[in-house]
Chains A and B, each alone.
Chain A
Amino acid sequence: MTDYKKPIPTITDDLRPFFTAAKRHELVVQRCRGCGAYRFPPRELCSSCLSREADWVPVSGRGEIFSYNVMHQVYHPGFADAVPYAVVVVRLDEGAKMTSNLVGVKPEDIRIGMRVHVVFEDITDEVTLPKFGSDG
């Protein structure tokens, strides 16, 4: 883990429940108490019903590839050996969208609509990143 060179996200207050759950290999997102909509990344209020009340709740971790790109340009030295790599947007079955990576699938084999499930990558003692694997 010590030779991990990619950017390590800061555990900000708004994302703390997300990282705490990820540490125990559980995926959580916010659910609005007003209208029940799931959302990610976290926000102060629900853009549908404007409720400020929300809970962090576990989700199935299942969903599908909504879109993806393949990064060739190196914006951070930690990705210099990784290019070309894909960034995916997963639409969870509960409705929220998450930016992530798809592990174990070559960029050229990714398809929109592919069924995926969450996997967890422990990158430091504090930070675990939820990523996704293909169901197929």
Chain B
Amino acid sequence: MTLRAATAIAGLGITPQGKVYGTNQVGFAVDAVRLALEDAGLQRADLDGLLLNPGLSWADMGMGSFQLQQAMGLKNLRLTATMNAGGATAGIMIQHAAEAIAAGVCHTVACVFSDAPLKPPAPRGASSGSGSAAAYSFGRGLDAAYGQFGVNAMYALVARRHMHLYGTTNDHLGAIAVAQRQWANRNPQAQFHDTPLTLDEYHRSRWVVEPFHLFDCCLVSNGGLAVIVTSAERARDLKQPPVYISGIGQGHLGGDPADTLTSGAVLAKETAFTMAGITLDDIDVVELYDCYTFTVLVTLEDYGFCRKGEGGPFVSGGRTAPGGELPVNTGGGQLSSFYMWGMTPISEAVIQLRGAGGARQVPDAKVALVSGNGGILSTHSTLVLSRDA
């Protein structure tokens, strides 16, 4: 049995993203599923599967997918789970949906991410409660005594080693930030749609933790994002052009990523490309998980677009920017559009393969590579999505 193009993404729902208030993570998830159903031309009753990747604000809800089912009155599901492998989860949800549908245990599955870590600004004069830094910091044991807080600081250690071993510079990282901003400037749904960024402005942006400037780090967003997965056959009868799920893979290397400076893409790629029957040359558009500029650089290396250590020179000169030879993160990515964990790159691939990218559309995009990455280069998922079966 092969899963190649056995299933397809038939619906996409993206709520308003960013500093959006007035509901919570459950509300955003409900809205995202509703929008995705509407997009596909389906009703709630058509869903028989629901997979949820809970963002940080779902913290205390171990049965989040059940809570979501109840919140939106879904009946008679044949598949559900609340899943978490960090930023690789989105691709893994699609994988589980595709496998379950191909195996005949269900027909139509919603895969959902939502989060609401941002709180409304405090009234003038009041103290400003927990901002994004507080929401995203953890590890208050021995590390805290030395002042090591949060994920930014951990990724910075890995990036610094890459710089030391391979000569990677902030000019290289900045090239990624600038390229993605140029894409975002063409994406009306991007949080940074109206804000250009030059390399000079990148260098002048404040340090968060060296070697990361502010614009090396992804956004924090409130919002929800859902996709509907169904059989390829059924998808062809629905409202939108199907986006076929042609290749799926996972790779989780284990050990300390600071030793190898390598993500699980090296494994996940093999599985997914073999399933899809493609090579790198077949890929028209690349949507990579970008918690940091550095993550994009490493991921490009690990998929073999360039050799290990050559990611810096590779991204220089606008190669990944609009008009460049390799379009990467064409909606602006999580650095410049919105941060819905791995759902951001999946959603942009769907938009590109439908030809619905407007000002940012990559002409004749037929095959998209999508990556997900969790932890510190710890978990990885690959999807190959295709316009044609």
Contact = CB atoms under 8 A, between A and B. Distances in A.
Interface in A95-110: 97, 99-101, 107
A112 B153 contact: no
A90 to B, nearest CB: 11
Contact of A75 (B137, B142, B206): B137
A49 interface: no
A67 B161 contact: yes
B45 interface: no
B160 A73 contact: no
B133 A73 contact: yes
B194 interface: no
Interface in A60-103: 66-73, 75-76, 79, 82, 84-85, 87, 89, 97, 99-101
B147 A101 contact: yes
A7 B158 contact: no
Closest 10 CB pairs of A and B: A75-B149, A70-B210, A69-B156, A72-B207, A112-B164, A67-B157, A7-B144, A9-B145, A87-B148, A67-B161
B142 A87 contact: no
Nearest to B212: A69
Interface string B129-142: 00001000100111
Interface residues of A, number: 33
B143 A72 contact: no
B325 to A, nearest CB: 33
Contacts of B146: 87, 99-101, 129, 131
B208 interface: yes
A15 B207 contact: no
What is the size category of the interface that chain B forms with chain A? 20 to 34
B164 to A, nearest CB: 4
Contacts of B160: 67-69, 112
A6 interface: yes
Given A9-B144, A72-B206, 14 more contacts: A6-B147, A7-B145, A15-B141, A66-B258, A69-B157, A72-B207, A73-B133, A75-B150, A82-B147, A84-B210, A87-B148, A99-B146, A101-B147, A131-B146
Most chain B CB atoms below 10 A, which of A69, A101, A113: A69
A71 B158 contact: no
B133 A112 contact: no
B147 A71 contact: yes
A83 to B, nearest CB: 9
B168 interface: no
B209 interface: yes
8 contacts: A9-B141, A41-B142, A66-B161, A66-B258, A69-B211, A72-B208, A85-B147, A112-B164
A2 interface: no
Nearest to A70: B210
A79 B147 contact: yes
A9 B148 CA distance: 12
A8 interface: yes
B152 interface: yes
Most chain A CB atoms below 10 A, which of B143, B146, B150, B207: B146
Contacts of B137: 75
Contacts of B164: 67, 112-113
Given A9-B145, A15-B142, A79-B147, A73 B209 contact: yes
A73 B152 contact: yes
